[in-house]
Every structure is written in structure tokens, then in C-alpha cells.
Chain A
Amino acid sequence: MANRNMQDQISSTLDFEYKYGFRMPQNYTFKSKKGLNEEVVKNISLIKREPAWMTKFRLKSYQIFKKKSLPSWGADLSSINFDDIYYYIKPVERQVSSWQDLPKEIKETYDRIGVPEAEKKFLAGVSAQYESEVVYESINRELKKMGVIFCDMDTGLKLYPQIVNKYFASLIPPTDNKFAALNSSVWSGGSFVYVPKGVKVKMPLQAYFRINSERFGQFERTLIIAEEGSYVHYIEGCTAPIYTTNSLHAAVVEIFVHKNARVRYTTVQNWSNNVYNLVTKRARADENSVMEWIDCNIGSKVTMKYPSVYLYGERARGEVLSIAYAGHGQHQDAGAKMLHFAPNTSSRIISKSISIAGGRTSYRGLIQIMPKAKKSSVFVSCDALILDEKSRSDTYPYMKIKENDVTVQHEATVEKIGEEKLFYLTSKGISKSDAESLLVNGFIEPVTKEIPLEYSIELNRLINLEMSGSVG
């Protein structure tokens, strides 16, 4: 109750400028030319002074990218023009470690998305990404003392090449899909997190992402390794200004959860409504470990994202809690994948989608239980809320179950906001649009209660803003 109260008070003091996006003048030190070829790929690796194996890996990935076709299912990706995109931009020469060192316009951008506020609250450190390079990073001293590594991926590769070499692309190889291949060839930025054995990181590690250049795609690469018995919560909150031409965001996130460890990965995605958000996220969960994805997709033109957990070890548990919001011109094709390889593994998927003003949401899920994964259990619940006749929601649940001794439960509901519920609320003195927001926020509450307060406030606020713009 106290939390709710505080949340309510904070919400009411925030302004509404956010919705329309903003962009700052660009001040880059390096910008590759538009389009992609071997030269561009080699140059990226050269500028970053990468080891030879990475250059080779990038070039090999580029060949795979060229050969792979776009997925034949899911959202419409036909209007992505790969020749009309900058694949690498480096905004500042070096990384800075304090707020004062940041260029003025970057500071302004962050002021507007509230990084300093977050920093005051969370001492755990902010790794904020401006364009494709992490430019601001403030790592908590405690993290270092505990032996926790939290840096951008480029630094990770420089300083910890053995760890990176061991894990990088071992869970999501470039052959996985066209966008994983693209990311593998041009990746830049993203986070590298390493939590040593038995270390429990109490504060969530946060990263802020922004795209600030027209036709510029972001290809960050994140690698998280949680050693035996450790715990870490990683949060990415994405916001982006609005542009007229299409932008591409193709990220890859790989997470390794070792025995008895637990990792939670929270995303609040609010790309502007011209961004193609095509992300491959996968985690490997070893014996008795827990992997939780909390995935909230509000923005973008098209999102295709299916966080997965490969349950390799006995008694490993995987969870995906997701929210998808699709307004006018948006298609959120999101879901989850759970692959059970070992006995006594369990998974839970809770998906909440909202479509409004002609928006479209699709739940796409895969449950796969391998032979011998005895006594495994699966719980899937996907609920769709459709706010008007123009909007649409579909469910594509796939189940491949090769073992008999398992428990599988699947629930799906489709709900329309009923006139009667709206009347109930309006008759108590609440306006129709507030009543709709209240019902929508109530609908997603099972997921929002799982995420930190600042993010759930942000999420509720974003949804209220989106709705106030689309409800007539």
C-alpha cells in the first residue's frame, strides 16, 4: 500500500512531454557510411582494435547474414532497407566515468530520461548507452570489491578476452537467424556482466539505451554470466525519439546461469514507432538454477522477440513474464520459448497483451520437452486485451512434447474492455479514458508488480500516455 501510494504521487508530478520524443544535435567522432559490406565490417573491428578471432567471427557472420533470408513467419519486415542504415557510429572518443565529463547534449538527453535521478537512487551503477557506444558508466565500488564485472561489451572483450571467448555466441550462433547474424557481424556496445561464484548482487544493474540518429540501427550485444550460486538482476530500459524513417534495432542477449544461480533480466522497451525491434534473447539454465525474463514492449513499429530459456540442468526453472502494447501502426509479435532438456525442470510463461487503435499483438510461444525430461512441468497463460474493433490479437502456441511423464498447462483468454465495466467506473466519477487506463493497468498488474517501482511507474505512465493519445 505504501509503495502504491508513493507511486501514485510520483506519477502525478511527471510531465507529459515524453510522448513526442526529442532529439539532440549529433556530435559524432566517427560514423561509418550507409550500407553494409565486408569493408564496413572490417573497419568496425579495426576501429575497435579487436583480436583477430573477433574480426574473423564478424566476417563469417556477415557471410551468413547475406545468405539467410528473412523469416517467413511473424511480422512484416519487407520494408527494412539494409542499404539505408548506418552500421556503426562512435559518438565520443573515450569512455567517461563521471557525469561531469559527458558532452553537454548527451547530458541533456539523459537529464530528460532521468538518469541522474536513477543514479541517486541506485548506487549499483549506470551503464548508459548513447548511440552504439557506452559513453557513461559509473560502477559501484562495491561491485568491484565483490569481483563483479559490469561494463560495456567492447571493454569486456578488451579486458576479459578469455571469458568472452568462452561464452560469446555459444548460445546464439550467427546461424541462428538473419538478425543474429547481422548483430554478430556489426555488434557494438551492449553489456558484459560477470558475477563470480556465490556472489549475490543486491542492487539491480541498469543500462539505458537510446537511438539518436536517423536510419541508424543499434546492434548491441549483451553477455551475462552468473557463476554457481550467484544472483544478479539486470535492467534495460529503452527509450527513443521519434523519426520519420525506419530504424533497426537488432540485439543479441546471451545469459549463462550456472548451478544454483539466479538471473533476472528486466526490459522496458519504448522504441519510437518507426523502429524495427528484432531481438534474440536466450538463456541457459544449469542444475537447480533460475532464469527469469521480464519483458515489457510498449514502443517500436514491429517487435519480434521471444526470450528463451534452455533448461539444461535438473530442477532448473525458467520464467517469462511479458507485456506487449500495440497502438496505431504497431505490431508486437512477442512470446517465449522454453526448452526442457533435463528431468524435473519447470517453466512458467505469463503473457499480457493490449491492442488498441488498430494495433496488433501476437503471442508466439514454443514449449519443447525432450525425451527423458521426466516430471517436467509447464505453465503457460496468455491473456489478450483488445480495446476496440480495429485492433487485433492472435495466439500461436507451439508445443513439442516428446516425454509422457510431464505436466503441461495452457490457458489463454481474450478480453474486450466491456462497456459495463467502463460504466461501473465512470458512474463513480472517473472519465472514460482514465477508466480505460485503470483497467489496462489492472490487467498488466501481475507483471508490473514484479518489476522495480521506478520502472513500473514509467511503464504505467507510458501506457497512460499512449492511451490518452489513441482513445477518442
Chain B
Amino acid sequence: MLQLKTISVSINKKLILKNLSYHFKKGKVYAIMGPNGSGKSTLAYAIAGHPNYKLEVGSLKFEGSDVTNLSPDKRAKRGIFLSFQTPHSLAGVNVFQLLRIALLGKEDPLTVKQKIEKIAKKLEIKKDLIERSLNVGTSGGEKKKLELLQAAVLDPKLLIFDEIDTGVDIDALRTIAKFMSENRYGKTYLLITHYNRILHYIKPDRVLVLMAGKLVKEGNAKLAVEIEKKGYKRVVSS
């Protein structure tokens, strides 16, 4: 589904990801783990196409076609979705306006509105939150739920969740994780996380460990458990 071919990514001329290659397969759940600064978010941004995250070498293939030079909106239209670690606050713009424009020509505003209302209910998002400026004066958990709501309405094929489990209390995490696992419908998930806790709810098919911009280890769900017990250094050096 998504192929990274020896990609190196830099920000402000500083090389962050080095020669990364991986083939993410359709319908699988991947956990991408690693200590702070290992390049996890950089990978997410590079896949979504952030203009400041420069692909120095290599290429990205999504569903068989090269997306290396596509703008973020075009990648999104192909079915790539990024759930932000820190979603930006948008004064005067609510989630309906955002999704209506994102789906312009694809779905009529009324359908968009109905979908939002239905999903908001499932995610236990208060009604006033969907009518208010997006991510303005909302808690960490609410912000992450609103990201998930956008994902559910946009209906992408590949979903990258950049630390959806941080800044979220335990009840919200349970709601989020439950929603994610019940509404996956065979979609591909990339779960970027520090901790194992979300992986208790959604079992990953593969666990990837990034350190200093390199893919240093790969394994099954047990690897995440091992990391939780021993820490990155000991697991990687073993």
C-alpha cells in the first residue's frame, strides 16, 4: 500500500531520517515506536507531504503510484490521513466548515453534517464542540477525538496517528481506542506512540522501532511489550 524507498528527510537542511525503506501492507496495523527525537513525527509529516520536510533522496509510492511530488491536499485526496500530535487551533473555523470544504464536490454539505453528528455521538464529543472554533479552548482528549472524527468522515485508506494517546486521560483513551478498533474496516493504521498503552486496545501486526532516524528493529506485537519492560536501549542492543 505504502512503499518508502530509501528515503532521507531533512528539515532546515538538518537530516532527520536516513535511508529508510519499508513496505506497509494493506489492512495491517503498524506501531511505530522510538524515543523522543528518533524521527517518528518526521516520518508522519514526510508521508503526509509537509512542504518543509524535504525528501533529499528516495521516493514514496502509494497504491502503486509515485506520490513523492504531490502536495499534501492531493495526497489526502488519494487517501492518506494524518492525525496530528498537536492539532492546530483554528479561530472562526469549525469542524463542519473544514470537512465541507475538504469534501466539496464529493459529498453534499447536508450529508457531511449528518455524518459529523453521528460520529460525534459515538466519540462522546459534545455538540457545542463541533459548532465552535476547532481546537480553541478544547482539552487534549477532545482535540484527539476531533482528529478521529475528521478521519472517520473523510474515510481515508491509510491513517497515521501521531501520538493519539498523549495528553489524553484514561477514559478518553478508552473511547478513542475502542472507536479506532471498531471502525477500522480493514484500513491500514500507522500508530506512532511512545507507550504500549494504546496497543493494549489495538493489537499491532508489526512493531517498528526508530532510533536516530533509522529503522533499527522490527518485530511482532511482543516487541512492544518487551520495550515497555526493558526500554529502547536494551531491546535494541540485544
Contacts and interface: CB of A to CB of B under 8 A. Distances in A.
A47 interface: no
A8 B92 contact: no
B170 to A, nearest CB: 27
B116 to A, nearest CB: 10
Nearest to B99: A428
Main secondary structure of the interface of B (DSSP, over half): helix
A30 interface: no
Contact of B90 (A8, A421, A427, A431): A421
B164 interface: no
Contact of A438 (B71, B97, B154): B97
Contacts of B51: 419, 423
B150 A428 contact: yes
B34 interface: no
B98 A438 contact: yes
Interface residues of A, number: 29
A414 to B, nearest CB: 14
B73 interface: yes
A441 B72 contact: no
Contacts of A425: 90, 98
Contact of B96 (A4, A420, A428): A4
A9 B113 CA distance: 13
Interface string B101-134: 1111000011001000000000000000001010
Nearest to B135: A424
A443 B76 contact: no
Interface residues of B, number: 37
A1 to B, nearest CB: 6
A442 B73 contact: no
Given A424-B88, A427-B48, A5 B72 contact: no
A432 B100 CA distance: 15
A122 to B, nearest CB: 25
A356 to B, nearest CB: 17
B91 A443 contact: yes
B91 A430 contact: no
Interface of A: 1, 4-5, 8-9, 12, 419-421, 423-432, 434-435, 438-439, 441-446
22 contacts: A1-B113, A4-B96, A4-B97, A8-B100, A419-B51, A421-B90, A426-B72, A427-B49, A427-B73, A427-B76, A428-B102, A430-B76, A434-B101, A438-B90, A438-B101, A439-B90, A439-B93, A441-B92, A442-B91, A442-B92, A442-B97, A445-B91
Given A9-B109, A426-B71, 7 more contacts: A1-B113, A419-B51, A424-B84, A429-B102, A430-B98, A430-B101, A442-B90
